[in-house]
Structures are given as structure tokens and as C-alpha cells.
Structure 1
Amino acid sequence: MSYLRLFYRLNIFIVLLILFLLISLSIDLTVRNQHKKRRLFLKNAGIFRDITCRIYKINVLIDNTLIHKLDKNYLILSNHLSYLDIIALMYNNKNVFVSTTEVRDSFLIGKLAQYGGSVFIDRKNKNGIKEEIEMIKDLLHNGFNVVIFPEGTTSNGECVLPFKSSFLELAFLVDTLIVPCCIKYTKVNDEPVNEKNRDLLYYYGDMEFFSHFFTFLKNVKSVFIEVKFLKPEDPKNFKDRKELSKYIHSKIEKCYKS
């Protein structure tokens, strides 16, 4: 039965993938204005995100009561557990993800990230930091929120990994509010997520993407994800990025373990 499920769900995914890429390609080829193109990318990705969630029973509960009245755009800092985090945080058409050039250059994944509206930074090129800061400023000033995973990688869910404080430097340089965000996976196949079943969802370490994804399609019947946005913080209230990084990490970790 699980292999029949895999065949059925994989075929649906391939159809959705082809449609998504074709529509995205048409946007890419016909729209010249970069901000308009990104908005259309995000809108298209949001449509396919909603379809995907319904078909694969990915249930996302969003708690944004502390930020829904913010009248300007902001920097979202979130813990990171899985590629499903992207789906969880694509609940509107404004959140732009910051990824790396390594992801951009990856087979298929890079194109999906690009057509999902992501921007890319080269962590090895220190000379490009000024351009990257201006890019993020430009996004914030043109109606987008910017999402960063400051752990720099995914974890196995046991804890929130230490943040790379260099990511927090952006908050000082772009002069915007930081919104901490906590992602929790609460149920898989109607059972609480635990050490025995967490690897069906969490993608970390040396796991191979396509192998993990096929396992997900084969074995996961439903997922419940909670996304909680915490009180916004102004970087100006902290003396440096390390203090800010430690504080934001503690807030997210406390929420994650609660």
C-alpha cells in the first residue's frame, strides 16, 4: 500500500511541478520589472503551496497576533528543521527567503527557490556584502518581508542550534524590526512527533534530499505544523549583533521547548 501511495503522490507532484515551472518560466520571460516579477513569483508559489498543502495534508497553524498590525516590513528570523519550513512560512505573498548560492546552483532545487521568489547570497564572498545589504534594503522598502534561518542549517529537532551572529548584522545595517519566529512540528500521521518518527519530517545532517523526499511521499499521510511569531525587536536596543543573536535565540528556543 505504501508503494502505491508513493506512485500516486509522486505522479501528482510531478504534474504540479511541471505546471509550476511552466507558469514561472512564462513570468520570467515576459515580466521585466524585477519587483513585479518577484510578486508574481510569490503569488504563483502561494497558489501551488495551498494546493500542495491540501493534497498532502500539510496543516499549518499560524499565530501572528503580535505582528498583524505592523505597518512596515520586517526581517523574520526562524529556527530551521526541514524543507517543509518553506511551505509553512509561505502563508502570504510577501515573505522572501534568503538562501545561498550553493542552493541556487543545485539541480532543480535552485530553480524552485528562484521561482519561489528567493534571493541568494554568497557566504564565501565577503566583498559582496554591500550589494547584498542593498538588495535586502530594497526588498524591505518595496513591500516584502525577508526570511532568514540564522542557524545556517537544519537541526534534528532536539534543540535550536546556535545562531550565526553574522546574519544578525543585517538587522543593524538595514534598520528594520526583527520578528522572531518559532516553527514546531507537532504531529505526523496523527501521532505526536518524537525521536522515532521525526526523521520522516526533519531533513538534516547527511540526509540526501531526493531520498528523504520520496520517503516523505511514501510514508507521511498528514503533518501538523505550528508557526508562532514572537514580539518584534528593535536592533537599536542591543549593543551589538552577538547580544542580539543570543537574545533572539533564547526567545525562539524557549518557545520551541514550551
Structure 2
Amino acid sequence: MTAPERAPLGAALALLLTVTSLAGPHAPGLIAVAVGAMAIMVAAGWTELLELPDALGSRVVIAATGVVGAALTLLGTDRPSPLQGVAVVAAVGLLAAFVQQMLRRERRALTLSLTGTVSGSLLVALSCCWTLASSESAGAPAAGLVTAAGAGLAVALLIEETPLPGLLRLPLSMLASAAVTGVVAAELGASVLPVGAALGLLVAFGAGGVHQLLGSILVAREPTASLAVAAAPVATTGVVVLMAVRILG
């Protein structure tokens, strides 16, 4: 999977979150399913991207953290502090990573394997913030922030894969994301145009940084590794969207 092929994949994930956020009361459940699928993508590509020695074990830990986390955050949104679910999932993923290393027969590259698995687990745990953002804004005008952020993210990721110079791609993607996010948020009544534009800037900056960091790794263009490069920026952006919903909602 080359870079041009990878770009629509990341943008498609963001567009999927955008569309599912418009499903009304069913939006949180659909987004939880999308987040679970995203976690499986990250798990499949993360071990290849970082060249971890125990690929199967790391994939199981990362995928389980994301899938279980998406389910728990969806079911636990009626608690006083639903964000605790993300913290619990991240902690359990950390413990599972240590257990995985203890059970390995081959002791080669223990530090690499542990840190790589932990970072992947934390990444998919953060993706659960998309579910929380959708659940906490369901039925309220703030739900439009999730839709707007997803649309802006899709545009930003498409621009990130254009053949433009690196120093130009990020500012251009931020401007495009700000425009799209601001207009969509204003049209849906979620926020005024300047506030939505600011959200778009944050979304594009965070996603662009993750994309450029992971995309610079030598094996990033390999087919399996490209899955993680495409999904990771979308996963991490959920934190920004949740913050926006809580502050502006």
C-alpha cells in the first residue's frame, strides 16, 4: 500500500466517523463499532511499523484494548465520570503488555517489544474518546462538533498525502480543515464559525503531526504497516474532539 493509497484510507475512516455521528441516538453505538475496527487496523499494522519481535502477542493485546475499551466506554457513559473508563482501559492494556512479555519464550528485544506494545495500547485507548464525545453530545447541538471535526479531519488527511513539500502540506491542511470544520459546525448550530475553525486547526495540527511522524518510518509504506499509519491520526484526534464537546457543549 503506497502513500497515495493510504491517504484515502485515513480520510475514509474520518469520513465514516462523520457519517455515523449523524445517526442520531444510534450514533454512539455505530462510532463504537468504528473505533473497534480502527483498533484492529492499528493492531495489525503497529507491529510491522515498529518491527516488534512478538507480532501476534502484541496484536492481540492492542486489538483487545481497543475493542474492549470501545465497548466499556459506550456502556459506561451513564456513570458520573465516564472518562475513567478510558483510564481503566489504558491501565489494563499496560498490564496486559507486561504479562505478554512475561509469557514470551524468546527473550529477545524485551524493551522494544514492551514499549511498542504499550504505545500501541495507549493509542487505541485514546481512540475511545470518539465514543465518549458522541455519547456525551447525543441529542444536543454539540453533536455537530463531532460531525464537523470528522469532516475537517478527512480533508486534512487528504491534503497530507499530496505531493506538496512537507513544510507546505501541514499549513495548507490546517487551513482547509479550519474552513470545513468551521462551516459545518456553524451550519449544524454547534458553534459559531471562528470557534469551529479553531477546532479544525487543532484537529489538523494533531493529526498532521502524528501522520508525518509515523509516515517517516522506513517501513511505513509497506502494506500492513500502512494500516497503522492511516488509522493512528484518526485515533488520536478523538481526544481533541472530546475536549471540544466538554468545553463548548
Give yes or no for TM over 0.5: no
Q: Which has the higher strand share?
A: 1
Q: Which has the higher helix share?
A: 2
Normalising by structure 2, we get a TM-score of 0.35
Normalising by structure 1, we get a TM-score of 0.34
